[in-house]
Structure 1
């Protein structure tokens, strides 16, 4: 079964991975609700493809207090919404050897954007996605391979992605468990990118000064591969974790840990625990 979702919301759609995936979905006939802070870029996307193929929704997803009313606006305006792609993210350098340089407010925003906002959005969109049963729906979360092996330079970023990775495992286990007949139509997919050439690195002054502002996998190469995996949908080749071969060793180690997790979940359920 190919990518079955017809109306997809993508956060962080003004650049990088979010914009690249939006472009590929639009080209494949998916109606995209593009979300981001930079209205002019969203408007350019609509101008390029047409309002019949993409809608611009300027919004700062780190504004947690505004999320409930915004999600209500989205689900009312786009009642056919059947997939959300939680992609928006921030990355900042955190040097404990130079504590005087650490901007705790900025790192709090990093935590909110990378972890707390997805937690809130998943919670707030779930009633709508549940209401579409038995129609296939999905929650697609973009984390990072740095959720598996942290890079000390951006310690807080890695920690937020590790938390997101853990959250996705539990979310998937709950939505497919024995108490989840009403949520089994919701597929949970995690995308774990390697370093990719995007603005995420280019806007970090310290990386640019080191000549590291433009490193990683080519964006188009990554987006083509990822969209190809997403297009496999729920068919026999479909996967609920999307990674690239460059990080295969990391992923294979993590798959052993996931096997332990799934055995632990089964044991808890057999022991009478409900979740």
Structure 2
């Protein structure tokens, strides 16, 4: 009788040991989780959205994500010089396409959209219908980002070309007067904790600044006296965001890029004002 009890106790102990071992090992959160973080380079306008998306992705998968933000053109140049980006999310499709054309990067896909708005000081009283006339006034300083370095600047010049169709001669005036205040390699950087466009307008470096609508809304939230003016239909310029992955990147990088096009990430982007792909 005693021997049967001892045998039962031994069997129970063995079972408990196995169960505890299974609990301590536990299944990996996601088999593809890599020790090294996924290196994601992204347009500055994506900072708020990608910070949230990366945090959610890490919580869901266990995969670390390292984010580097900047003007898309400058990021592309850094990648071309050898920086270790694995995922590149640009505010246009041209810069990722240029990486793909050089080889070693996948063909880009569109993952979200944006549009231009005008961010104005409280001293400017403009509506969509009067915005062009306001920007053409000699006493109004028009700020933009830097073309080629930052797609936002390229989109601003596309707007200037649209303006010329509405009012001949507008392109030449706007091209001559526009102040390239952000997005360049030598552009002044805002103090820590300040948004670029809120800071530029707070410093009164421009009266009207053409930037993405998402940036304009964020700047107004930081500096409530600023105003956001939608562009009239004749001047509207859409921004198409392209995504590419390094061809030899680990599976975890491809997984993060794929996640950007899935409903949870898209919900974050759209809540912050971005459009559907």
Calculate the TM-score normalised by the size of structure 1.
0.29
Q: Of the two, which has the highest radius of gyration?
A: 2
Q: Which has the higher contact order (CA 8 A, sep 6+)?
A: 2
Q: Between Structure 1 and Structure 2, which shows a larger proportion of helix residues?
A: 1
Higher strand share: 2
